[in-house]
């Protein structure tokens, strides 16, 4: 029990909780915007990415330490690279092309960034991950409002205006 509640594990528990919180914050906006991927999806993507990052950073401690590095040919960046590939697959499933309209691109991009935020937390880049979350929320909320105003103005000017990109 002492190993479970050890200082190192408590720090990792905090990292996982922070990643979940930051991902969920991004998902709240998507949920309010009535998009397909919401709080749970964004939270889980950030949490999973954080966990994979923690595994990649800490794996050698659990399999024998530095003395086995040469024997195992262990590269923790491989796990990070596979997170990016996996999120690309998940994002592709969210993007829909329907009646010459592209939907889900912003949500897919948001999931991609949520994965990066989770990875940043896993690698202990706390300030960067929090700042990135703020920037993504600005993109989701502020730029969406600006985009809506611009698209609405252009739509009124041109009778042929066709909204090709929606999310």
Which pLDDT tens digit goes with each residue over 61-107? 766 655 555 556 667 778 888 888 888 888 888 888 777 778 888 88
Q: Which residues of the chain have pLDDT under 70?
A: 1-3, 60, 62-74, 155-167
In a domain, 129, yes or no: yes
Instruction: State residue 2's pLDDT score.
Output: 62
C-alpha distance from residue 78 to each of 58, 69, 74, 109, 117 (Å): 14, 15, 9, 21, 17
Rounded to two decimals, the pTM is: 0.79
Instruction: State residue 65's pLDDT score.
Output: 56
Instruction: State residue 35's pLDDT score.
Output: 85
- The residue range of the domain holding 102 is 7-157
In a domain, 143, yes or no: yes
With 0-12 / 13-18 / 19 or more C-beta atoms within 10 angstroms meaning exposed / middle / buried, residue 118 is buried
In a domain, 166, yes or no: no
Instruction: State residue 11's pLDDT score.
Output: 94
In a domain, 126, yes or no: yes
Return d(Cα 133, Cα 130) in angstroms, integer: 5
Radius of gyration (Cα) for the chain, nearest Å? 20
In a domain, 165, yes or no: no
In this structure, what are the phi and psi dihedrals at residue 32, rounded to the nearest 5 degrees? -65, -30
Based on the structure, what is the number of domains in the chain?
A: 1
In a domain, 1, yes or no: no
Instruction: State residue 126's pLDDT score.
Output: 96
């Amino acid at each position: 029990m002492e190993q479970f509640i050890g200082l190192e594990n408590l720090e990792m528990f905090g990292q996982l909780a922070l990643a979940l919180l930051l991902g969920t914050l991004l998902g709240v906006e998507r949920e309010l915007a009535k998009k397909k991927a919401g709080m749970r999806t964004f939270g889980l993507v950030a949490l999973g990415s954080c966990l994979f990052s923690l595994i990649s950073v800490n794996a050698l401690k659990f399999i024998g330490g530095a003395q086995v590095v040469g024997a195992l040919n262990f590269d923790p960046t491989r796990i990070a690279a596979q997170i990016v590939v996996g999120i690309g697959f998940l994002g592709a499933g969210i993007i829909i092309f329907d009646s010459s309209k592209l939907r889900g691109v912003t949500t897919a991009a948001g999931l991609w960034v949520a994965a990066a935020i989770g990875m940043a937390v896993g690698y202990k880049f706390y300030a960067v991950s929090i700042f990135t979350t703020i920037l993504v929320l600005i993109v989701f909320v502020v730029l969406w409002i600006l985009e809506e105003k611009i698209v609405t103005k252009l739509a009124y000017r041109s009778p042929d205006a066709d909204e090709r990109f929606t999310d």
